[in-house]
Amino acid sequence: MPGSLRLRLPALFLLGIVLAGVVAALIAVQLFSGYTRSRSYEELGREARGIARLYGDAALRATDENAAAPDFAPDALELATGDQLFYVGAPAFPGQETGLDRLPESSVPAEVLASGRSLEFRFRPPGQNRTYLAAAQPVRLEPGGPAIGAIIVAKSQDVVRDQWLPLVTRLAAAFAIGGLLAWLLGAWLSRRISGPVEALAKASDEIASGNYAVQVPVGRGGDEISHLSERFNQMAARLAATEERERQFLMSVSHELRTPLTAIKGHVDALRDGLVDDPALVSASLEVVAHEATRLERLVGDVLDLAKLRAHRFTVQTEEVDMGRLVEHAYGAFGDEARRREIDYALQGADRAPTIITDGDRVLQVITNLLKNAFRWTPDGGRIGVTLGAANGTIRVDVTDTGPGISPEDAQRIFSPFVSSDMQGTGLGLPIAKELAGALGGRIELEAPDGGGSRFRLVLPMRTWS
């Protein structure tokens, strides 16, 4: 696949190596070219100084002793140095030929004669098409005396270029070998990286299609890909568990809704078909319909509350809440039931409770749900206690009862939706209380001694205005 990660990774890796190599090669060629040019100027200058001194001494002898021009031939000097010799300026040996190629003053920079010092420059001799690197050295009859001309030692620029061409060839060969090795290394790294990534992509497609049982292999080592694979498997497992919980939740909702609806439908059909004509039986049927409708309304409300809590589609208010007054309010709501059923019902610690920042309505709902659960399971003549206290920066509300107790197995299940052993409740009170407590930054703890009874504890953080 042209756009696959397995091809793009080595291609990008190779592109980076190519760019880095090209930049390094250009810098190397530039540096070497500058170095060879500098060395060439240095050699030309050294040769020009020596030859100028040689011709200057010969010209001085010819002037003082009326001697002939030196017999050393320029061709021999050019052969020895490998460079070309030129002369510009006044004749060093009047009336005699030196064998040096004379250059018109216009063909060289004016500074060659005007400066009276060594000079490096480029020029193109008359009648030639090549550019030369040159070094000019003034010719003097006496040290410190005026310059009568200048010896110019020149080397073709092509010769200098030929010195760094082998470097370019070697760099190209090294570049080709390095590019091949880079491609092989990139392909190997790409396979190591893209293999797990492709497995993750395929597993993601499976999850998107609804198959949450997929697993990806976790490689050895603690690299990021292995960590990602491990986390992906955990995510898939959680999604599978979530889907199973949702399926169970929908099945439970359907079952719980079907029970009151079946009862309502049966009594309504009997009344509509005239199967029940006794006024007492009619009244009893209507009483059942009303009871089941109320139960159905309560069930739907609890389901909606739990769904909003789990989807985090609810708002937690922040206000000052007097915990003592709030617990007293929740406690008082069950006073009549406690007296009617002769339950020993007591409240402790409300007079010493602090004021905290929380959502009072949500806290009241949690405590009310805990009290409903306690009254549902406590037999007539039993005992229910509510205790309010503070410890370690938290507010604690304990609801204790003398009911039948809770087994360790049930202790793990009672906070799941629709888990109830009687027909009076919806099985959603404790799950809603747990979700609300978590949303308020707290938790619900459960203690169930072996001798019977239970204690539910609501723990909230003791927040105050700063």
Report pLDDT digits (tens) over 250-276.
666 676 677 677 878 887 887 787 777
Q: What is the pLDDT of residue 466?
A: 53
Residues 32 and 159 in one domain: yes
The pLDDT value given to residue 69: 60
Give the orientation angle of helix 279-310 with respect to helix 224-272, to 10 degrees. Answer: 170
DSSP per residue, 377-400:
HSPTT-EEEEEEEEETTEEEEEEE
Q: Does residue 189 fall inside a structural domain?
A: no
- Tell me what the mean pLDDT of segment 429-433 comes to: 78
Of the listed ranges 97-111, 159-173, 297-311, the one predicted with least confidence: 297-311
Q: What is the CATH number of the domain that holds 128?
A: 3.30.450
Same domain, 98 and 145: yes
**What pLDDT does 458 receive?**
93
- CATH number, domain containing residue 412: 3.30.565.10
Total number of domains in the chain: 3
179 within a domain of the structure (yes/no): no
Based on the fold, state whether residues 27 and 145 are members of the same structural domain: yes
292 and 144 fall within a common domain: no
How is the beta sheet containing 443-447 ordered, strand by strand? Answer: 344-348, 383-391, 394-401, 454-461, 443-447
Are residue 334 and residue 303 in the same domain, yes or no? no
Do 369 and 267 have their domain in common? no
What's the first-to-final CA gap in the chain, in angstroms? 60
CATH code of the domain in which 269 resides: 1.10.287.130
Of 279-283, 319-323, 453-457, which range is least confident? 279-283
User: Each residue of 203-215: pLDDT tens digit?
Assistant: 788 778 877 777 7
Residues 297 and 338 in one domain: no
DSSP 8-state symbol, 68? P
Give the tokens for residue 123. Answer: 């020029």
Say yes or no to pLDDT of 61 above 70.
yes
In percent, the amount of the chain with pLDDT more than 70 equals: 80
- Single residue among 252, 284, 310 that ends a domain in this structure: 310
**Residue that is written with structure tokens 């500074």 in the block:** 111
Q: Is residue 219 part of a domain?
A: no
Contact indicator for 132, 158 with CB cutoff of 8 Å: no
How much is the average pLDDT of 178-200? 73
- Whether 197 is covered by a domain: the verdict is no
Q: Are residues 16 and 117 in the same domain?
A: yes
How many Å apart are CA 212 and CA 214, to the nearest integer?
5
The beta strand positions in 100-145, using DSSP E, are 101-102, 119-123, 132-140
Question: Would you tell me how many other CB atoms lie within 10 Å of the CB of residue 8?
Answer: 15
| Contacts (Cβ under 8 Å, ≥6 apart) of 388 | 323, 324, 327, 347, 348, 349, 350, 352, 353, 395, 396, 397, 398
Q: Do residue 360 and residue 290 come from a single domain?
A: no
Residue 190 lies in a domain: no
The CA R_g of the chain, rounded to the nearest whole Å, is 51
Angle at 190 between CA 188 and CA 193, to 5 degrees: 110
* pLDDT tens digits along 72-95: 567 777 777 788 888 888 777 766
- Are 79 and 149 in the same domain? yes
pLDDT for res 60? 73
Q: Given this model, what pLDDT does residue 345 score?
A: 94
> Where among 263, 284, 310 does a domain terminate?
310
pLDDT at 218 over 50: yes
Together in a domain, 297 and 353: no
How many angstroms separate the CA atoms of 58 and 44, rounded?
A: 21
Residue 116, SS3 per DSSP: coil
- DSSP code per residue over 72-91: --HHHHHHHHSSEEEEEES-
**Does a structural domain hold residue 427?**
yes
pTM above 0.85, yes or no: no
Q: What is the mean pLDDT of the chain?
A: 78
How confident is the model over 121-151, as pLDDT tens digits? 888 888 888 888 888 888 887 777 777 888 8
**Band (176; pLDDT cuts 50, 70, 90):** confident
What is the span of the domain harbouring residue 67? 5-163
Burial of 391 (0-12, 13-18, 19+ CB in 10 A): exposed
Q: Which of 280, 310, 340 is the last residue before a domain boundary?
A: 310
Q: Is residue 423 very low, low, confident or very high in pLDDT (cuts 50, 70, 90)?
A: very low
Residue 195, in any domain of the structure: no
Same domain, 46 and 93: yes
- What distance in Å separates the CA atoms of residue 352 and residue 323, rounded to the nearest whole number? 9
Residue 1 pLDDT grade (very low, low, confident, very high; cuts 50, 70, 90): very low
Q: Cα torsion for 32, 36, 37, 41, to the nearest 10°? A: 150
Q: How many CA atoms lie within 13 A of 48 on its CB side?
A: 31
208: DSSP letter: H
The answer to whether residue 187 sits within a structural domain is no
d(C-alpha 307, C-alpha 302), whole Å: 9
